[in-house]
Amino acid sequence: MPTMPIHDQVDALLAAADAGPLPIVAAGDPVLRRPAEPVDGQLSDTALARLVEVMRRTMHEAPGVGLAAPQIGVALRLAVLEDAATVTEEVATARGRVPQPFRVLVNPSYEAVDGGRRVAFYEGCLSVPGYQAVVARHERVRLRALDERGRAVDEEIGGWPARIVQHETDHLNGTLYLDRAELRSLASTQTRAAVERWAQPTPVLAAAELGFALPESG
């Protein structure tokens, strides 16, 4: 069966959305496992702006801090992110979590900096609802992308914002966070004890109790 062209697919989604949020594609759908195609003129400026706005509303409704286009069924290298960072000071300090204004990443890629040092924290995903797991990711990365106006983005980013960038860019490569996770840490968000464990500022206690290793610090 032939694949619908991206522009037709987006037109159909936008018509269905009527400017509201869209359903989020769950793990098991092939669109989450295929590398997305670069944004390269498939959409008009108007269609791209409308798609970004629908993605923003969908992310807010979920709620989440990032959303990649494949998560609404569109195999384009496009992601949005925004984080109010409404966490305790202890959690914010431990995780390097600071507020991030809304931004759009077109054709993003990243590479590790600072020797590729990794840090591990619990992480979740809108496409894998009901669970959290510890993922070791680069503490700092160099982000390259375009913004929604076609302007080049080339910056170093660290802490929790770097984690969001890696998570969303991985989606565009057909990778889910569970592919990188320490599966012994997998926790249901429906269990009080598990929630208390992953809500800790760091996963040190969880690692001790569940028997998995964390990256060495320093």
Structure tokens of 157?
Answer: 């980013």
DSSP string of 60-76, one letter each residue:
HHTT-SEEEGGGGT--B
Provide the token pair at 23.
Answer: 């359903």
**Looking at the annotation, which residues are catalytic?**
168
Percent of the chain with pLDDT over 90: 83
Tokens of 179: 């592919």
* Distance separating alpha carbons of residues 79 and 87, to the nearest angstrom: 23
Please tell me the distance from the alpha carbon of residue 59 to that of residue 190, in angstroms, as a whole number.
21
Query: Is the pLDDT score of 92 beyond 70?
Result: yes
Q: How confident is the model at residue 114 (pLDDT cuts 50, 70, 90)?
A: confident
Q: Six-digit token pair at 70?
A: 């494949």
CATH class of 6-210: alpha beta
- Does 7 count as an annotated binding residue? no
pLDDT tens track for 33-60: 999 999 999 999 999 999 999 999 999 9
Are 126 and 57 in contact by the 8 Å Cβ rule? The answer is no
Instruction: Record the pTM.
Output: 0.94
pLDDT greater than 90 at residue 191: no
Say whether 60 counts as a known binding-site residue.
Answer: no
